[in-house]
Amino acid sequence: MCNNEQALAVISGKVLIKNEQQPNQLDVFMMEGKGFKHKTKLDLGRIEKFQSVTMDFYFNTDDDSPTLIFAKQDSIITLNFENGEVETMYQFKDRLHIQPQFLTMNEEQDVMIIASEKDGIYINLKQKVEIDIDAEYGIESLKKIIYDADDQSFFVLANHYKSTLGIYLVKFYENDPFHNQFVIRWNTFLDIGNISVFIMRNEQLRYKELVIGYCSIFVNTHNIIVMDISEIKNNNMVFRHESY
CB neighbour class for 241 (10 Å; exposed up to 12, middle 13-18, buried from 19) = exposed
| Measured distance CA(145)–CA(136) in Å, rounded | 16
Splitting the chain (244 residues) into consecutive groups of 10 residues, what average pLDDT does each group show? 78 80 90 90 90 91 85 95 93 92 95 94 94 95 95 96 95 94 94 95 87 94 93 77 92
Q: Please report, for residues 44, 184, 187, 199, the alpha-carbon distance to residue 192 in angstroms, rounded to integers and kept in the order given.
A: 32, 14, 12, 20
| Check whether domain 2-193 has CATH 1.20.58.1030, yes or no | no
Residue 94: DSSP 8-state: S
Q: Please report, for residues 66, 159, 196, 215, the alpha-carbon distance to residue 218 in angstroms, rounded to integers and kept in the order given.
A: 46, 14, 19, 9
| Measured distance CA(163)–CA(77) in Å, rounded | 32
| pTM listed for this prediction | 0.91
Each domain of the chain, given as residue ranges in start order, spans 2-193
